[in-house]
Structure 1
Amino acid sequence: QPFSDAIKLFTKEQTYPLLSNYISYYFSPIFSLFLSLVAWLCIPLFVKLFSFNLGLLFFLCCTSLGVYTVMIAGWSSNSNYALLGGLRAVAQTISYEVSMALVLLSFVFLIGSYNILDFFYYQKSIWFLVILFPISLVWFCICLAETNRTPFDFAEGESELV
């Protein structure tokens, strides 16, 4: 079933809004996918292929650049409603990323390094959940907010926006 759905999706005729900016309208989701794949480079493998000292800052930069793809996608459609929805999603994402950066900064103060491999080595003896339990709860809420899960799905809640 998924294979036949993929074939059907690739053989469909592509349509786009008439007044949209064609290039940025189609390349902003591709750039968003590229950014999400590049963010996986900072996850340290024990092969030490891409282990670099500022991996945490690289992760924060990759996640914060995703805001621009949403903003460009909303702007390039030349629809006022898409632009307003994109700006609302951008404001929501930026507000959650500030708190995510502060939580990660508290972990950096505890460890003393921006290398994500040092995070793994530090947690071999004791987990962050035990040491910093309130901050771990905040981290869990931020992860729910970044993925737009149930308590934080403001984009789908039409009745709350009226």
Structure 2
Amino acid sequence: KEEIVPSNVEKLTYLLAPMISFVPALLTFAVVPFGKDNNFFGRDVALVLSDLNVGVLFVFAVTSLGIYGIVLAGWSSGSKYSMMGAVRSSAQMISYEVGYGLSIIGVIIIANTLSLSELVTIQTGPLWGTFSFLPNWFIFSQPLGFLIFLTCSIAETNRAPFDMPEAESELVAGYHTEYSSMKFSMFFIAEYANMIAVSAVGTTLFLGGWDGPFLDSLPMLSVVYFVIKVFLFMFFYIWLRATFPRFRYDQLMAFGWKVLFPLALLNTLITAFVVIL
């Protein structure tokens, strides 16, 4: 497409906004372990870029930064439609970030660690050490937390039915109305990169990460298991987009604060109570 820059934009911010949306999604992958430690040419190699002992906290911080790109894009475009999409997006992010965080706290309470690599290791073996037919993944011990995490993840990535910031029927194209060419494409790349990043985090927290059978004899299978689980998340996102209509804006806000937030808080309290007992 032709590169078109409207005359009334704040040019520097307008040009930087797509990149600001994209970079946080890439940073998230830095702490996600995508396979079991392997031995290559006599050296043990960890399949994670940076094994931080505060990996979960890092994910929280980085995923919250993506909203700045959207808000700056809306503000700098000089369009009422773009600005409205940006304001909606920031309100949605604030509303669902609370439930998103609380849904993960239950996992942290059980595991007693913030390291994503340690979280995967804890999920290996049978459920609670006794049920050999089920893996010890947190989706079984935290089913409510998983559902809340999944719902908030969809809202955080602005996917249907929570795609209020770019509601075509109301806001033309939302925050990227005034963008064209590669800058326009960058917002879509950022959206799908965020989806993959959130899917990778969800896989690590609730689906055992790279855990699966036959890893003792074929450790590289761990990468295959991880990719399959991430693709299951992605399939669910795309299936939702094709199935459900968009929420009304007031319904979206009410659902975040009146349904997901109390449920996430209840899940955290019950988990803490059970662990203390």
* Shorter-chain TM-score range: 0.7 to 0.9
d(CA) in 1 for partners of 2:161 and 2:79?
28
Shift of 1:154: 3.0
Equivalent runs, 1:1-162 vs 2, <5 Å? 12-45=1-34, 46=37, 47=46, 48-125=48-125, 126-155=136-165, 156=167, 158=170, 160=248
SS in structure 2 opposite 1:152?
A: coil
Structure 1 segments, 4+ long, off by >4 Å, are none
SS in structure 1 opposite 2:6?
A: coil
Question: What is the TM-score normalised by the length of structure 1?
Answer: 0.83
Question: What is the TM-score normalised by the length of structure 2?
Answer: 0.50
Higher helix share: 1
d(CA) in 1 for partners of 2:160 and 2:79?
27
* Superposed CA offset, 1:48-93 (max 9, x none): 5410101111111111011111111111112222112101111112
Change (3 A) 1:80 1:115: same
8 Å CA contact 1:100, 1:139 repeated in 2: yes
Higher strand share: 2
* Superposed CA offset, 1:94-138 (max 9, x none): 211111111112211111111011110111131111111111121
Change (3 A) 1:116 1:34: same
8 Å CA contact 1:55, 1:115 repeated in 2: yes
Greater length-normalized contact order (CA 8 Å, ≥ 6 residues apart): 2
d(CA) in 1 for partners of 2:69 and 2:161?
24
d(CA) in 1 for partners of 2:164 and 2:17?
22
- Considering only aligned residues, what root-mean-square deviation do their CA atoms show, in Å? 2.1
Moved more, 105-114 or 141-150: 141-150
d(CA) in 2 for partners of 1:105 and 1:19?
45
Change (3 A) 1:150 1:14: closer
Structure 1: gaps (5+ residues): 1-11
